[in-house]
């Protein structure tokens, strides 16, 4: 994917190959203003599989979780998502497991 890097406060969104990377803390009042355009570009450029790497993400507020849920449920039919999560960040495992359960057949969790 060829997506321009975005920065807001301590949060950074970037992409490399088939992986989108979420870094820092996403805790703004309206994270959809920051995340949704990024997800829109991913949706356009992704192939059948996209990796969303959350391992460098330290915090994501509940409004940000809503944005991820929205992306997951609006992806093209037949496409698959890999959530890459940090085993040492328990919030990632708990929240992303619940998001995975919304579309278990097409979402995989990879713990590192």
Partner 1 sequence: MTFNFDLTYCQKWENVSYIRHFVADMLSEEFYGLSDSKRVSTATSELVENLVKHSSSKLANISISREGDASEILLKATNTVSKELLNQFETIFKDIYKGDPKTVYKEMMLRSLGEKDVSQLGLARIRYECEGEISYQVSNCKDNPKLCQSLPKTSKHQLLTIIVKVPMSDQLLNSNNKEGAL
* By CB under 8 A, residue 103 contacts partner 1: no
The least CB distance from residue 105 to partner 1, in Å, is: 16
Which of 17, 44, 62, 112 contacts partner 1 by CB under 8 A? 62
Which of 7, 33, 49, 98 contacts partner 1 by CB under 8 A? 98
95 bridge partner residues: none
Rounded distance between C-alpha atoms, residue 100 and residue 108, angstroms = 7
Maximal CA-CA distance, the chain: 35
* By CB under 8 A, residue 27 contacts partner 1: yes
Give 3 or 65: the residue with its C-beta nearer to partner 1: 65
Distances (CA, A) of 108 to 28, 102, 104, 105: 27, 11, 7, 8
């Amino acid at each position: 994917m060829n997506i321009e890097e975005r920065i807001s406060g301590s949060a950074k969104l970037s992409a490399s190959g088939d992986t989108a990377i979420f870094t820092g803390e996403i805790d703004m009042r309206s994270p959809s203003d920051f995340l949704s355009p990024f997800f829109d570009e991913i949706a356009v450029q992704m192939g059948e599989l996209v990796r969303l790497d959350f391992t460098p993400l330290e915090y994501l507020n509940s409004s940000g979780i809503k944005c991820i849920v929205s992306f997951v449920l609006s992806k093209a039919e037949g496409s698959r998502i890999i959530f890459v999560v940090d085993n040492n960040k328990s919030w990632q495992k708990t929240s992303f497991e619940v998001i995975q359960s919304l579309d278990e057949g097409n979402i995989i969790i990879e713990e590192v």
